[in-house]
Amino acid sequence: MPDISKLAVLYVEDEPELREHVGFALRLHIENIITAANGQEALEMIRVAKPDIVISDIRMPVMDGLELTAILRRKYPALPVLLCTAFTDTAYLLKAIELGVAAYIPKPIDTERLLAAVRQAALPILQQREIQRLKAGAIHACGITTEADPAMQELAEQISQVADSEYAVVIRGESGTGKSTVAELLHSMSGRSRKPRLFRRICG
């Protein structure tokens, strides 16, 4: 079961009691729960708090959940949105599918069902964070320090971008400039890290 405790989740609901109740239930499993009363307020929260996942009611004043989702698809296409509603109108469901929502949760909200949907939507986010953590560990293990040196930050980013390439990579530079270190780092960050190293040194 994926650990969602460190996620930032925005819950959008216009009914204060329900917003408080569901927000409390979510906080038992997720540390950072942000709430908003409508779509317009949610957009401001997203701009400032940058949540990982948005859970929204559909029927709300000012801006409803479908309008909010449509805006989010344009501005933040990778941001997962889960929609909740007590209405079973087929038009709402079809529109939600068209907008590419991560899940459609019926009301009254079942907390376990909602958490299961959050975990499912969070999988790509958590996987990407783990990849970044492993890459950062590989960089540190090879003795490359990026904190204070913009050039090293750029080098680490370039290595990260080509690490999963299936093509051969040519590393050029003067003797003693760290070509072997870069080669080791490329190998450790790639999908071939468990296979034998295959480096070819060309001099001259």
CB proximity list for 115: less than 8 A, separation 6 or greater: 4, 26, 29
Reported as a single tens digit per residue, the pLDDT across 15-35 is 999 999 999 999 999 999 999
- What is the pTM (predicted TM-score) of this model? 0.70
H/E/C letters for each residue in 51-87?
A: CCEEEEECCCCCCCHHHHHHHHHHHCCCCCEEEEECC
Reported as a single tens digit per residue, the pLDDT across 138-153 is 656 655 555 546 666 6
Q: Quick one: which of 5, 9, 28, 25 has its CA closest to 17?
A: 25
pLDDT score for 204: 47
What structural domains does the chain harbor? 8-129 (3.40.50.2300), 142-189 (no CATH)
Which backbone phi and psi does 34 adopt, to 5 degrees?
-110, 145
